[in-house]
Structure formats: structure tokens, C-alpha cells
Structure 1
Amino acid sequence: MEQKIVKYSVLSPLAKVPAYATAGAAAADLCAALEEPLTIAPMQRVLVPTGLAIELPDAGCVALVYARSGLSIKHGLCMANGVGVVDSDYRGELKVPMINLGTEPYTIAPGERVAQLCIAPVWQAAFVPAATLNETERGAGGFGSTGK
């Protein structure tokens, strides 16, 4: 698998370097840089620090922060904003906005894996007005679904 250099700065002695769990993993784990456990009540939102900042190699990529599947399915812990977007020119601390959609409080332990960081290619669109758009078999039908 191709690798590109992503520089990082440690902003807290509690930070852990993002790590891929397996050779085929698409995203690296982000860990909570906490001094003490953090309990999140049902429907509560929190911003979990990672103690890290990153420098993406160029404007042709983006860092995406996703929820961890196990935390979301077992405990209802999800990203409060769905997916975090880290632009190539951002240099601040990576923080994970989380919400507890479960029915029980959940306690995040210091150093616990709380999210996944995926680096992906991206390009900016040149939006151009058009009087008509090309027709497709689907057309305008089934917004939010293919209808199948």
C-alpha cells in the first residue's frame, strides 16, 4: 500500500501517535489524551482531545475522522458531527466531537481509542451553472435511495 508522509506534533504528553491496527486498515486509531476518565451521559456531547496536530502533505488530501464501529454499536458513542473534516491547511489540535446516543453513561479511559483517522485524496470542484444536466436512467427519482 502506498504511503505518504504526514507530519505530526505532540501537543500533550498524554498523546498517542495514530496507529493502524492491521496491515490492511484504511484508518489509524486516534486516542483520548485525557488526564482522568471522562464520563459521557446519554445525549451529552463532548470534545475529546487527542493531543496531536497534523500536517497533511498537500491540498490534494483531507483527513477524515470517523467513529469507531465497536464504540458506536456497543455503547452508542458516535461522532457528534457525523464525520470530522480536517482540511490540509489546519494546524490545530485534532479533537473528536462525540455524542452518547446510548441509554447508559459511557466512560472514556485516558488513552482509549475513540475514533479513526483516514487520509483520502480530494479535489475542489469548479461549479459551473448549466441550463440542463445530462439525463440518466435514475434521473431525479428516489432521492435518498435508489428506490430498489
Structure 2
Amino acid sequence: MRSHETVPVPVKRLEGNDDLPLPAYATDGAAGMDVVSAEERVLVPGERAAVSTGIAMAVPDGYELQIRPRSGLALKHGITVPNTPGTIDSDYRGELKVILINHGTEPYKLRRGDRIAQAVLSPVVRASWLEVHELDATQRGEGGFGSTGFGAAEVEPIRKA
């Protein structure tokens, strides 16, 4: 059995949410904790909503809580987190809300207690800018979007019949 480092994260159940489970890992190998909805609502196709979870927390300094989609909801119903990953900063103390969007073709009913997202506690490394006049050269250089994929000679144009 693997040993996992744990980091204590103070969490507060908001009033009226004692019946809901706290975020929890579903299996020993899970990287993300399941987060549940504290509300019932219907998301129609194309609709976005900030869904209540009924909890607030104090993410430790030097960490962030990343909010990610649940793969089953995305595949089966088109329900996802549009700002993936969402970031909960260490100085935020309000209710955790998960922004969901329905990319599916049917309305989706969220029920209280449904698993709606995953939360991953991640260390944060802060950048410090070092302004320079020139950057070091690389093989890629200034090649942007798609520049590491197929070369122009390898791409076959699509022809209409």
C-alpha cells in the first residue's frame, strides 16, 4: 500500500448542510476528491450556473484547490466545468461554488448530494519575473499554435468531390 502525504485543510459546513458529505477520495488511488451539490436545479443545454456545495474552507498558504470536471458527467451528459481547472486561492473564505455548464442536448437535473466535480489540492509555485533583452534560442523558436504537430508537407488538404 502506498503512503500519501496529507495536508490538513480546515473546512466549515455552512448552515443547513450537515447532511452532505465532505469532499472525499472515492478510492485509494484517486487524485481528486468528489465534491457534491448542496442544491437542486435543472441545467438546460447551454446554461452555466455557480452551484453551491454548502462548504467553505481555508486552503493552506502555498496551496490551491483545483476544481475539475467529473469524467462521467462530461461523457454521459455533457456537464463540465468551463473554467477548468477552477482555482480556490488560499486567502478565499467564502462558499465553494462550482461553475457548471451543460454542453449536452438534454436538460440535466442536479440533485442535492450529487457528485458534481473533483477537487485536487496542489502546491503553488510563485513566479518572479526576470526581465531580459533577449531569450535563449530553442529548436521550436516562436512557433505557436499547432507548430509542434504535423509539418506542412505531411498534411493532406481535404478535397471536395
Give the TM-score of the pair, scaled to structure 2. 0.84
Match of 1:66 in 2: 68
Aligned with residue 53 of structure 2, among 46, 50, 53: 50
Deviation at 1:135, TM superposition (A): 1.6
Q: 2:133 matched to which residue of 1?
A: 131
Match of 1:93 among 92, 95, 112: 95
Consecutive aligned runs of 4 or more in structure 1 exceeding 3 Å deviation: none
Residue identity opposite 1:48 in structure 2: V
* Structure 2 residue 41 is the aligned partner of structure 1 residue 41: no
Does the residue aligned with 2:122 lie in a helix, a strand or coil? strand
Report how many residues are paired.
Answer: 145
Q: What residue identity is the alignment partner of 2:31?
A: A
In 2, the alpha carbon distance for the partners of 1:99 and 1:12 equals 26
1:106 maps to which residue? 108
Whether the 8 Å CA contact 1:80–1:98 is kept in 2: the answer is: yes
Aligned to 1:3: 6
**C-alpha distance in 2, partners of 1:57/1:47?**
23
Aligned mates of 2:146, 2:128 — CA distance in 1: 24
Look up the equivalent residue of 1:92 and give its one-letter code: G
Q: CA RMSD in A?
A: 1.4
Name 2:123's counterpart in structure 1. 121
CA displacement at 1:22 relative to structure 2: 0.5
Task: Mark the structure with the bigger radius of gyration.
Answer: 2
Partners of 2:146 and 2:35 in 1: CA distance: 31
Q: Distance in 2 between matches of 1:96 and 1:138?
A: 37
Contact 1:16 1:50 in 2 (8 A): no
SS of aligned partner of 2:6: coil
Residue number among 21, 26, 29 corresponding to 1:21 in the alignment? 26
Q: For residues 8-38 of structure 1, what are the alpha-carbon distances to aligned partners after superposition, in whole Å with 9 as ceiling and x for unaligned?
A: 000143342000001111110000012xx31
Percent identity over the alignment is 46
Normalising by structure 1, what TM-score? Answer: 0.91
The code of the aligned residue for 1:105 comes to P
> Which whole-Å CA distance do the structure 2 matches of 1:145 and 1:13 have between them?
52
Report deviation, 1:141: 1.7
More deviation in 12-21 or 83-92?
Answer: 12-21
